[in-house]
Chains A and B, each alone.
Chain A
Amino acid sequence: MSIGELRILTLEQVREGDELPPLAHQVTATTVVLGALASRDWRPMHHDREFAISRNGVRDIFINTPNNAAWFERYVTDWTGPRGRLGRMKFRMGEPVFPGDEMILSGRVTRAAADDTGCGWVDLDLAVSVSGTVKTSCRARVAIPCDGDDNPWERKDERWKP
């Protein structure tokens, strides 16, 4: 891929209230186990169904916390392109996501503005839903370029205030 072909979302293209395109994914046992092992999470409730049922009191193995974060990151940077740089992410897992669920990631812009260092920030309300019920809610703050020449990844120290 050449640099010129990259998606670059800039601050001037974003408005409060904008919706991110939804992302659907059919969750399988492989989804759960792959995510757990990729994040080096060896706890049995993420790969051992009997353990999850008998010890956690749930119906099956379920997606683990860091993999949940990785899904949100992928969803956000699909939208921003590679110059999007996560600054902060907060999420709450209300109910687990299990094999057999179709999870839908959705998102909405709650704020888009530059800070006092000139860094463009977008605040997002995100969710993972299954059958219309929010399972995990997330607030993310992602830096995006103010214009085509800007690159948030160049920022550090006092110029990076997530």
Chain B
Amino acid sequence: MDEASNGIPAAVQALIGVAQHAEESSFPIEMAYVYNTCAAVQNGNPLYWDEAVAREITHGWITPPTMMSVWFRPHYWVPGASGERLALQLHFDLKRLFDLPEAIIAGNETVFGVPVRPGDRLRAHQVLRSVSAVKTTRVGVGRFWVIDLECQNQHGEFVGRDSYDCFGYRRPAA
């Protein structure tokens, strides 16, 4: 460790800018989750409820753009799995590497490309963009990091990029 690296271990510095955790959505995109999402926020956009409107405007059903990250969250349980299955694995890798037991997502930026449609198979990878020096906030002492999740569909088209501002931290001793 040195001053210029803000005390960031070499193992973490080596991760910056490198694509990791390539994955495919674990099931073909489907409308059932769209209805759950629309119901949760009372979204009556006819694109998701009226097939004639969807046909006219988007050439068939699409899914709400902000659902992009939903398609990469693992099932809570699958046969043969043990332990908690985690989305945004790189975030949890960093918690472990920095030995920071708690974390929050402080912010999020998403750029949207082509719409996602039922039946699509999506691919994504995660990229660590930056890690801050140690910071003290009202919830504890830790570090901020930015992770991009970049997503394409089965045709290689750009679906979107989700950037997460995360803060991993240790709570002050009681």
Which DSSP category, helix, strand, loop or mixed, fits chain B's interface? Answer: mixed
Q: In the complex, which of the residues A68, A90, A153 contacts B115, with contact meaning CB atoms closer than 8 Å?
A: A153
**What is the size, in residues, of chain A's interface with B at 8 Å between Cβ atoms?**
45
User: Are the CB atoms of B76 and A42 closer together than 8 Å?
Assistant: yes
**CB–CB B105/A31 < 8 A:** no
User: What's the least CB distance linking B145 to chain A, in Å?
Assistant: 15
Segment at the interface with A among B9-17, B32-40, B118-126, B127-135: B32-40
> Nearest CB to that of A33 among chain B residues?
B40
**B106 within 8 Å of A (CB atoms):** yes
Total interface residues in chain B, CB < 8 Å = 46
* In contact, A91 and B171 (Cβ under 8 angstroms): no
Contact A88 B57 (CB under 8 A): no
Which of A3, A55, A90, A151 makes the CB contact (< 8 A) with B108? A90
B80 interface residue, CB < 8 Å from A?
Answer: no
B28 in contact (CB, < 8 A): no
Which B residues touch A153, using CB under 8 A? 57-58, 115
Interface residue from A66, A67, A70, A92 paired with B107 (Cβ < 8 Å): A92
Contact assessment for A82 and B111 in the assembled complex, using a CB-CB cutoff below 8 Å: no
Contact among B52, B66, B157 for A73, CB-based, below 8 A: B66
- Find residues 16-71 in chain B having any chain A CB closer than 8 Å to their own CB: 33, 36-47, 50, 52-53, 56-58, 64-67, 69-70
- Additional 18 contacts, C-beta under 8 A, given A1-B52, A156-B114: A1-B46, A34-B36, A39-B37, A40-B73, A57-B171, A65-B108, A66-B69, A69-B110, A70-B66, A71-B41, A74-B41, A87-B111, A88-B110, A89-B110, A92-B106, A93-B106, A156-B157, A162-B113
B interface residues (Cβ-Cβ under 8 A, vs A):
33, 36-47, 50, 52-53, 56-58, 64-67, 69-70, 73, 76, 87, 102, 104-115, 139, 157, 164-165, 171
Where the two chains meet, the residues of A that have a C-beta atom closer than 8 Å to any C-beta of B are 1-3, 6, 25, 31, 34-35, 37-42, 55-57, 65-74, 77-78, 82-83, 85-93, 151, 153, 156, 160, 162
The 3 lowest CB-CB distance pairs between A and B, nearest first, are A40-B73, A38-B36, A90-B109
